[in-house]
Amino acid sequence: MSDGSYKAFDLYNPTEEHKMLRDMVREFVKSEVEPQAHEYDRKEQFNLPLFRKLGELGLLGVTVPEEFGGSGMDATAAVIAHEELSYSDPGFALAYLAHSMLAVNNLAVNGSQEQKEKYLPKLCSGEWVGAMSMSEPHVGTDVLGMKTKAVKSGDTYTLNGRKMWITNGVIDEQGTPGDVIWTYAITGEKNGRPQLSTFIVEKEHKGFSVGQKIKDKLGMRGSNTAELVYEDCQVPATQLVGQEGDSMIHMMRNLEIERVTLAAMGIGIARRCIDEMSKYASEREAFGKPLSFFGQIQKFIGESFAEYMSAKAYVYETARVLDLNSHGNRLNSDGVKLVASTMSKNVADRAIQVLGGYGYVGEYHVERLWRDAKLLEIGGGTLEAHQKNITRDLVQAGTLLD
């Protein structure tokens, strides 16, 4: 346009609000997250005081309507937050994701008005910490194989079962459970298939407890993982979300943003690794020349950058069109996590190789990022689950043409 008013669309910061969000989170990461990342990883502890500060920034309810204490933003905003946090501390970012996406966004989209009014303000402020309870000791992706059951008697449900690998299952070293647990359980059968239902379980509900805190994880040590026990757990019928059998709808509505934000974590990990290996290759010399002079190092850095940028564009484009209140974009939400998770692990691996012995120790960060990246290929859906879903969706579509 000749008047100079044309402004190119920025996929990564589509509005001024998005840019301000990125700047705010990036500054917070630099001043608050980065200084503690190595320490809390080594201690295998969740930094709860730091987490509560995310509430002050409006991040704990980033996708929640403002009427319930949230920031009322979109999927792109959620991706920005997860990318920036993961640049420094993916373990801390995972705890954030479990709260803000798996519990809080789930409730904001699927809960009743009364449930949202009761829980969301305290979850958005950080006063309460949320978690989502689905995986079990013997079952993960196969949700219809879960054994946890809920039986109704009068105005109460009794839940029995065990859940495993629950992020934010405990929130401190005393074994205190998360305050609000978004829980899936079987309430019967319909047409020969298990009927999954959703319950909001509070830590004070009788019969609910923490089984064990899971220690000695490969990575993501800055987030707490635990087994949760429901032993004749008494839950008021008002804690049922929707109707019995609605869980598959709840899962589908939330699964896409979960996987897209997990993919965004991979973007943050890769960006940090590229920064670290580029800096090191320019400063370290071999045979009188900087490492960046040598072709093999150039291959590691160049391929990492190209793969990172490709995955980043895919993640942000998927977020751009994602409707938080619906579903129907599983093909690409599976696709971005399939691509970004493995990409981030591979880039971290190359970063270790470029840094050599220094890359193998904690001081230079990339070994921690490599350990953290591996979880992205497992949590929130395994690589194999994504491959299966993508293949099924493509076969059903019959063509990639619009």
Indicate which CATH number applies to the domain containing 194: 2.40.110.10
- Dist CA 77 CA 279 (whole Å): 29
For the chain, what is the total number of helices (H) and then of strands (E)? 12, 10
Asked if residue 81 has pLDDT above 90, the reply is: yes
Task: Tell me which of 43-47, 189-193, 228-232, 344-348 is least confident.
Answer: 189-193
Confidence category of residue 282, pLDDT binned at 50, 70, 90: very high
Counting every residue written for the chain, the total comes to 402
Phi first, then psi, for residue 64 (nearest 5°) are -90, 140
Domain with residue 79: its CATH number is 1.10.540.10
What are the DSSP E strand ranges found in 239-344?
240-241, 285-286, 289-290
Q: Residue 94: what pLDDT?
A: 98
Q: Residue 128: what pLDDT?
A: 98
Buried b (16+ CB within 10 A) or exposed e, 99-113: bbbbbbbbbbbbbee
- Dist CA 265 CA 97 (whole Å): 9
Q: Is 258 a catalytic residue?
A: yes
- Residue at 5 is within a domain: no
Asked if residue 118 has pLDDT above 90, the reply is: yes
- Residue at 196 is within a domain: yes
DSSP string, 77-115: HHHHHHHHHHHH-HHHHHHHHIIIIIIIIHHHHHS-HHH
> Is residue 380 a contact partner of residue 334, using CB atoms and an 8 Å limit?
no
- Residue at 154 is within a domain: yes
Confidence category of residue 156, pLDDT binned at 50, 70, 90: very high
Confidence category of residue 116, pLDDT binned at 50, 70, 90: very high
Q: Which two tokens stand for residue 159?
A: 């839940």
> Is residue 351 a contact partner of residue 277, using CB atoms and an 8 Å limit?
yes
Residues 376 and 253 grouped into a single domain: yes
Q: Which two tokens stand for residue 81?
A: 């937050």
Confidence category of residue 1, pLDDT binned at 50, 70, 90: very low
Asked if residue 6 has pLDDT above 60, the reply is: no
Provide, for the chain, the percentages of residues in helix, strand and coil under a 3-state DSSP scheme, each rounded to the nearest 5.
Answer: 55, 15, 30
- Dist CA 348 CA 377 (whole Å): 14
Residues 143 and 104 grouped into a single domain: no
Asked if residue 371 has pLDDT above 50, the reply is: yes
Confidence category of residue 140, pLDDT binned at 50, 70, 90: confident
Q: Which two tokens stand for residue 235?
A: 């839950």
Residues 345 and 366 grouped into a single domain: yes
Residues 231 and 367 grouped into a single domain: no
Give tens-digit pLDDT for 332-346.
Answer: 999 999 999 999 999
Q: Which two tokens stand for residue 264?
A: 């965004």
* Percentage of the chain lying above the pLDDT 90 cut: 89
Q: Residue 9: what pLDDT?
A: 80
- Residue at 282 is within a domain: yes
- Residue at 45 is within a domain: yes
- Residue at 402 is within a domain: no
Residues 261 and 388 grouped into a single domain: yes
Phi first, then psi, for residue 133 (nearest 5°) are -120, 100
Confidence category of residue 2, pLDDT binned at 50, 70, 90: very low
Residues 271 and 188 grouped into a single domain: no
- Dist CA 363 CA 368 (whole Å): 9
- Dist CA 187 CA 198 (whole Å): 9
| Candidates 84, 136, 244, 258; catalytic one | 258
Asked if residue 127 has pLDDT above 80, the reply is: yes
- Find the mean pLDDT for residues 124-150: 91
Answer positive or negative: Cα dihedral of 369, 318, 260, 96.
positive
Distances (CA, A) of 224 to 109, 126, 156, 169, 307: 25, 16, 30, 7, 31
* Percentage of the chain lying above the pLDDT 70 cut: 98
Q: Write down the mean pLDDT value for the chain.
A: 95
Distances (CA, A) of 6 to 19, 288, 313, 320: 18, 49, 22, 21
Residues 142 and 116 grouped into a single domain: no
Give tens-digit pLDDT for 217-261.
Answer: 999 999 999 999 999 999 999 999 999 999 999 998 899 999 999
Residues 116 and 39 grouped into a single domain: yes
Phi first, then psi, for residue 146 (nearest 5°) are -65, 155
Q: What SS3 class is residue 173?
A: coil
Burial class (CB in 10 A: 0-12, 13-18, 19+), 192: exposed
Residues 295 and 320 grouped into a single domain: yes
Identify the domain boundary among 76, 106, 129: 129
Q: Residue 325: what pLDDT?
A: 85
Asked if residue 370 has pLDDT above 80, the reply is: yes
How many domains does the chain divide into?
A: 3
**Higher local confidence (pLDDT), 382 or 140:** 382
Q: Which two tokens stand for residue 399?
A: 């063509």
- Residue at 57 is within a domain: yes
Q: Residue 5: what pLDDT?
A: 53
> Is residue 221 a contact partner of residue 41, using CB atoms and an 8 Å limit?
yes
Identify the domain boundary among 129, 159, 190: 129
Q: What SS3 class is residue 44?
A: coil
Domain with residue 368: its CATH number is 1.20.140.10
Identify the domain boundary among 129, 164, 193: 129
- Residue at 7 is within a domain: no
Could you list the residue range(s) of the whole structural domain that residue 62 is in?
A: 16-129
- Looking only at the bridges linking them, the beta strands covering 130-133 and 180-190 are parallel
Residues 210 and 259 grouped into a single domain: no
Residues 149 and 230 grouped into a single domain: yes
Residues 241 and 371 grouped into a single domain: no
Q: Which two tokens stand for residue 401?
A: 């043409």
Confidence category of residue 402, pLDDT binned at 50, 70, 90: low
